[in-house]
Amino acid sequence: MNILKLENVSKYYKSAETVSVGMKNISTTFDIGEFVAVTGESGSGKSTLLNVISGLDGYEDGEVFHYGEETSHFSVSDWERYRSAYVGFVFQNYNIIDSYTVFQNVMFALEVQDYPKADRKKRANELIERVGLSSHRNHKASKLSGGQKQRAVIARALAKDCPIIVADEPTGNLDTVSSKQIMALLHEISKDKLVIVVTHDYDQIKDYATRKIKMHDGEIVEDLKVKEYPKKAEIIKPELKKTSLLSLLRISFRNIFATPKRTLFLLLLNIIVIGVFTLVYSSQIKNINESGLAYSENFPSVPETRLLIERRDGGKFSAQEISQFKRNKNVLEIYENHNLFFNEFTIGGKTESMNYFSSFNKTDSAIILKKNEVNGKLPVAIDEVVVSSSFGNFNIGDTITLGIAYFHYDEYNAPPTFGEFKIVGLDKKERDTIYFSEAYLKQATDNKPQIDYLKYLNYRYLISDNLKLTFLGEDYFVWSMYAERNWDYDVSQYESGPRPEMDVYENQNLTFSVIVEGKELEKTIPNLSIEVFKTNQSKVVFLNNQLYQQLRDDFLIEFEDDYRILGRNLLVVEVSGYYYGNQIIKAVDD
């Protein structure tokens, strides 16, 4: 039996006026162990073939057999399951979340696969090692080179442990050396798998390919076995693993809080954030395998048992409303001080510096814990916590320092700390969560800052650093200060000699832009005067100091939701389990 068999398969792309042939009358089989190179000129149908095989695209005529079974009756969700269980995708940047580290990206893939929690970290590290990225484990994906990114994509594909790997021009944007390495890596992982690689450069792959398929005009015009491959005596169809409802919900929850605030507010029809629960849940099923994730740093990993509610008008909840929520039997507890929960944090031992960091760590209240889930005891005093021993070699009795994740700050500035806590218990289930006492979560927080100043300053700094002006077809860095006619020698950090020659432009409508954390913002200001160095190799313009600050602050407003997060009137609702989510939403809504 072949893992894949195509019988007279055709695929057409129909539009209002035209029908174009993606591929026609393809009949062939694929086997485990094969390393197939698909070549052919642009438009010859390579991607179409790959997409049909991998279930990304449907087909019109013929039949695709998977482990001997017909697929023409497959529903959308059958294909969904097929893809998620059997096919690993290696496309450019496929599913890589730029703002996550390599480690977090792989962890996330494992989480989606419902990989046993206890082994996830170990497995993630193995996969990262396997693709040769260990030294970049904690680098954000956005900071990786093209080749490194593609390795991360492969690590994610491998996280699935699936029998089929498809790669569409995996080296399309890479230099020769990286391309060779990626091909070698794909070859290395091809043992016991069927790997199909589309490439326009057969030379890159010819050392490894066991088979070469050439396409032209939607047809296979050449199909050569170029090398023996290890045949397996018996091919067993792997068990179809469903992503559990729990995982889906968990991911949905995370995505709710990963949605940019503005979008989020559009979704808020009434008072609640969690009102979108159902919406996100159902759309998530569709997107889970295909989408990258939008990402916000504020609520990236809220525990499943914690709902956050907010009034649409942003106002405070009344005592009456709160007690009404409390009456719901699935609500365990309500906390008004949401800023005592930290969604990402660093942990440090007392003597060491802060030494641990993962965005998958979160905090929760101990009220959801049962005594028998914990070695040691539940936290009672204000500074007592329960942690997982998987955080590091922590023991009962240890004192730890908690701080905001490094993630939010640069590598050089230590993050602010929340204080010292004593470990009184270890979570037997090793959830990546720190559990606080009721005493801690019920304390008054009136003296807490309304703005996360570090974050605010961080944004300010980022904006100042990235401010760009496009003027007369050139990009310039924008500097503040000396745009006014009377050049101020005294405060200039550059000059003590005569003023350099400047070109002066008056009454210009100028468009400034800034990219901060992947978000591009633009502003046009009319009637501005600017000065540009006559010999401007470093491409700098000067803007009047006051205007410069105004501009920066205008841009800053765009991020206000982010740094004002501590001032939002969110209510934290502990629920007794995922399954009550919808009921509680409805109750809150009512």
Name the β-bridge partners of 374: 427
Closest CA to 376 of 337, 422, 425, 306: 425
- In the numeric block, which tokens belong to residue 244? 């559990």
Q: Would you say 215 or 309 has its CB closer to Mg ion? A: 215
Among 10, 44, 47, 433, binds Mg ion (CB under 5 A): 47
Tell me if 376 sits within 8 A of 397, measured CB to CB.
no
Shortest Å, Cβ 24 to ligand ADP: 10
For residues 115 and 30, give the distance between their C-alpha atoms in angstroms, rounded to a whole number.
28
The minimum distance between CB 45 and ligand ADP, in angstroms, equals 4
| Minimum distance, C-beta of residue 43 to ligand ADP, in the bound complex (Å) | 4
For Mg ion, give the closer residue by CB, 57 or 321: 57
* Shortest Å distance, C-beta 215 to ligand ADP: 6
From residue 106, alpha-carbon distances to 157, 182, 316, 479 in Å are: 9, 18, 39, 40
How near is the Cβ of 90 to ligand ADP at its closest, in Å? Answer: 15
Question: Which residues pair with residue 479 across a beta bridge?
Answer: 542
Q: Which does 22 bind (CB under 5 to 8 A by kind): ligand ADP, Mg ion, none?
A: ligand ADP
Q: Using the 8-state DSSP alphabet, how is residue 493 labeled?
A: S
| Three-class SS state of 406 | helix
- Distance between CA 404 and CA 297 in Å, rounded? 11
48 touches which of Mg ion, ligand ADP, none (CB within 5 to 8 A by kind)?
ligand ADP
> At residue 559, what are phi and psi to the nearest 5 degrees?
-105, 10
> For 545, which DSSP code?
H
Q: Of 47-55, 134-142, 482-490, 541-549, which part binds Mg ion (CB under 5 A)?
A: 47-55
Q: Which is nearer to ligand ADP, 209 or 543 (CB)?
A: 209
What does the DSSP assignment read for 258-286? HS-HHHHHHH-SSS-SGGGHHHHHHHHHH
Residue 64 tokens read as 């695709």
Least gap, CB of 44 to ligand ADP (angstroms): 4
52 or 293: CB nearest ligand ADP: 52
Cβ atoms within 10 Å of 11's Cβ, excluding its own? 22
Looking at residue 210, its amino acid is T
Question: Which of Mg ion, ligand ADP, none interacts with 415 (beta carbon under 5 to 8 A by kind)?
Answer: none
Task: Answer with the entry of ligand ADP, Mg ion, none that 81 interacts with (C-beta below 5 to 8 A by kind).
Answer: none
Task: Report how far residue 30's alpha carbon sits from residue 164's, in angstroms, rounded to the nearest whole number.
Answer: 10
Binding site for ligand ADP (CB under 6 A): 13, 20, 22, 40, 42-48
How is residue 377 written in tokens?
């005891």
All residues at 6 or more sequence positions from 218 whose CB lies less than 8 Å from its CB, including other chains: 10, 21, 22, 23, 24, 44, 45, 48
Residue 42 touches which of Mg ion, ligand ADP, none (Cβ within 5-8 Å per kind): ligand ADP
Measured between alpha carbons, how far is 197 from 185 in angstroms, rounded to an integer?
12
Taking the mean position of all CA atoms in its chain, how far away is CA 70?
35
The vertex-372 CA angle with 370 and 376, nearest 5°, equals: 100
Q: Smallest distance from the beta carbon of 292 to ligand ADP, in angstroms?
A: 20
Considering beta carbons, is residue 57 or 63 the nearer one to Mg ion?
57
SS3 category, 212: strand
Question: From the list ligand ADP, Mg ion, none, which binds 401 (C-beta under 5 to 8 Å, kind-based)?
Answer: none
Reference 584, options 367, 334, 257, 331; nearest CA is 331
Distance, in Å, from the CA atom of 220 to the CA atom of 239, rounded to the nearest integer, reads: 32
Q: From ligand ADP, Mg ion, none, which one binds at residue 40 (CB under 5 to 8 Å depending on kind)?
A: ligand ADP
Of the pair 215, 302, the CB lying nearest ligand ADP is at 215
Which of 58, 132 has the CB closer to ligand ADP? 58
Pick the closer one to Mg ion by CB: 47 or 365: 47
CB of 31 to ligand ADP, least distance (A): 23
CB of 163: closest distance to ligand ADP in angstroms? 23
Which region among 39-47, 79-87, 152-160, 563-571 touches Mg ion (by CB under 5 A)?
A: 39-47
User: Nearest residue by C-beta to Mg ion?
Assistant: 47
Least separation in angstroms between CB 173 and ligand ADP: 16
For ligand ADP, the closer of residues 22 and 348 by Cβ is: 22
Shortest distance in whole angstroms from residue 47 CB to ligand ADP: 3
User: Using CB distances below 5 to 8 A depending on partner kind, what does residue 20 bind out of Mg ion, ligand ADP, none?
Assistant: ligand ADP
Our CB check for ligand ADP shows the closer of 14 and 485 to be 14
Which positions from 341 through 360 interact with Mg ion, judged by CB under 5 A?
none
Q: Looking at beta carbons only, is 19 or 444 nearer to ligand ADP?
A: 19
Site string for Mg ion, 71-100 (x = CB under 5 A): ------------------------------
Contact region with Mg ion (CB under 5 A), list: 14-22, 46-54, 522-530, 544-552: 46-54
Write out the two tokens for 241: 């693993």
Cβ distance 296 to 562 under 8 Å? yes
Backbone angles phi, psi at 355, to 5 degrees: -135, 5
Binding site for Mg ion (CB under 5 A): 47
